[in-house]
Amino acid sequence: MNSLAEKYAANDVGSIFLYTHEAHPGEHYPHLTSFDQKLRHAQALRDIYGVSRPILVDALDGACHRAYGSMPNMTWIFNKAGRPLYKSDWTNSDSVENAIFYLLNVLKRRRDGERMAPFHVERIDFRTQDQKRFYEGLARNGPRAVEEFKNAF
């Protein structure tokens, strides 16, 4: 997502990361109990994963996350008026780039005078599941996170 943000910044496309909470808390990154702790977790996420986009930190109670659907790894694209143009329950850079490319094309066509009317689309996208990388992320949170995830399934 960092590279997409950089690639489309020249097109006036902004990108932020909303830090909500640890999906799988463990000994190293436990369940959040204070906003200061949440800020430290967000800073660690930035440093570990090299997030170069601005990071907004949700309220301790997750008010923003709930307001936008509480999806596990969501992505939204809004126009400048704040209208949602894209919503996904999982962040996938290929899907997001496809949407950005399409929406920039729509904007160009409108600027060129083409009359266009919006319509709603639903589709299923697919992403690669990298189990090794996923479990490495769980291990970063602590052995309890790994064990709890394994026991849940």
Alpha-carbon gap, residue 36 to 99, rounded angstroms: 35
pLDDT of 19: 97
In a domain, 137, yes or no: no
Average pLDDT over residues 11-22: 96
Task: Indicate whether 150 belongs to any domain.
Answer: no
Look at residue 5 in the predicted model and tell me its pLDDT: 97
Would residue 114 count as lying in a domain? Answer: yes
The structure's pTM equals 0.89
CA distances from residue 21 to 63, 66, 74, 95, 98 in whole angstroms, order as listed: 11, 12, 13, 23, 27
Spatial separation of the C-alpha atoms in residues 122 and 71, rounded to whole Å: 16
| Distance between CA atoms of residues 22 and 41, nearest Å | 8
Q: What pLDDT is recorded for position 87?
A: 96
Domain that holds residue 69: 2-128
Q: Give the whole-angstrom CA distance, residue 115 versus residue 112.
A: 9
| CATH code where residue 60 lies | 3.40.30
Domain-located, residue 151 = no
For residue 57, the model assigns a pLDDT of: 98
Mean pLDDT of all residues belonging to the chain = 95
In a domain, 143, yes or no: no
Angle of CA points 51, 16, 78, to nearest 5°: 150
Q: What is the pLDDT of residues 68-120, one digit of tens each?
A: 999 989 999 999 999 999 999 999 999 999 999 999 999 999 999 999 999 99
- Domain-located, residue 37: yes
Binning pLDDT at 50, 70 and 90, where does residue 152 land?
confident
Does pLDDT of 131 surpass 80? Answer: yes
Is residue 146 situated within a structural domain? no
pLDDT at 153: 77
Nearest CA among 42, 53, 52 for reference residue 19: 42
Give me the pLDDT at residue 102, please: 98
| Residue 74 resides in a domain | yes
Report residue 136 CA to chain centroid gap.
19
The DSSP output letter for 117 is -
What are the tokens at 81?
A: 């008026």
Q: 35-59: per-residue pLDDT in tens? A: 999 999 999 999 999 999 999 999 9
- Count of domains in the chain? 1
